[in-house]
Amino acid sequence: MAKKPGPKPGSKPSKLSVYLYIPNIIGYTRVLLNCFAFHVCFTNKILFSILYFFSFVCDAVDGWAARKFNQVSTFGAVLDMVTDRISTACLLVVLSQVYKPGLVFLSLLALDIASHWLQMYSTFLMGKASHKDVKDSSNWLFRLYYGNRMFMAYCCVSCEVLYLILFYLSENHTEKLMDVLATNLQKISILSFLIATSLVGCTIKQLTNVIQLKTAADACVLYDIDKKHKQ
């Protein structure tokens, strides 16, 4: 069996070599794909959807590559999260411009960024290696979300698929969100099935984001209390 590429035991990788880790190169590719996708989003919805979803799939590939080639890095983890948050944020901003009320999508954007940023920050405060380490959480849904890869994948994919479907269904930038959902859910088709299953997963993810926001905020407050107690 061929040896996995990576730094030799005991050797110190150079700064450039870390930037050129395979999972990080995949991350740069995702950024370029998203830039081009949003460049054509209003002129070619099909191409946009393909590029955006392919970039989303690469999110799973870079994690696999990091473990496969022993190229896990803090920079890669941050690049991955920032790319995820920005790409989803851009899509939510676009949706806020083509649906009424746009505040729904802007609220989801704010919740997504705030909950993940706070979770990442609280992770470093607590000295954990990963923001996905929530084994000590008292909330079962939060533990299930980060502890079960398939469940987390279902929720994440559901959100992106639902957002892409909604964008694809938009026509004249004045649609009412609830009208579009209600009309398509009443039909018996593959599209209505996708919307229904994606809506369930997306709802669970937003609920998890709320729990994550509260849990991370509590961790920061407890850190402050503990710090003052030791003074």
Report how far residue 167's alpha carbon sits from residue 49's, in angstroms, rounded to the nearest whole number: 9
Report how far residue 222's alpha carbon sits from residue 213's, in angstroms, rounded to the nearest whole number: 14
Is the CATH code 1.20.120 the one for domain 17-230?
yes
Output the pLDDT for position 1.
46
pTM (2 decimals)? Answer: 0.85
Q: Which residues contact 122 (CB under 8 A, 6 or more apart)?
A: 215, 216, 217, 219, 220, 223
Half-sphere exposure of 5 (CA within 13 A, CB side): 8
Phi then psi for residue 176, to 5 deg, are -90, 130
Show pLDDT as tens, one digit a residue, over the chain (231 residues): 444 555 555 567 788 889 999 999 999 999 999 999 999 999 999 999 999 999 988 988 888 888 899 998 889 888 988 999 999 999 999 999 999 999 999 999 999 999 999 998 898 888 887 778 888 888 999 999 999 999 999 999 999 999 999 999 988 777 899 999 999 999 889 999 999 999 999 999 999 999 999 999 999 999 899 888 777
- Domains in the chain: boundaries: 17-230
Is 136 one of the catalytic residues? no
Would you call 55 exposed, middle or buried from its count of C-beta atoms within 10 A (0-12, 13-18, 19+)?
Answer: buried
Which residues make beta-bridge pairs with 176?
100
Amino acid, single-letter form, for residue 132: K
Selecting among 84, 136, 218, 226, the annotated active-site residue is 84
Q: In the chain, at which residue ranges do the beta strands (DSSP E only) sit?
A: 99-100, 175-176
Output the pLDDT for position 6.
54
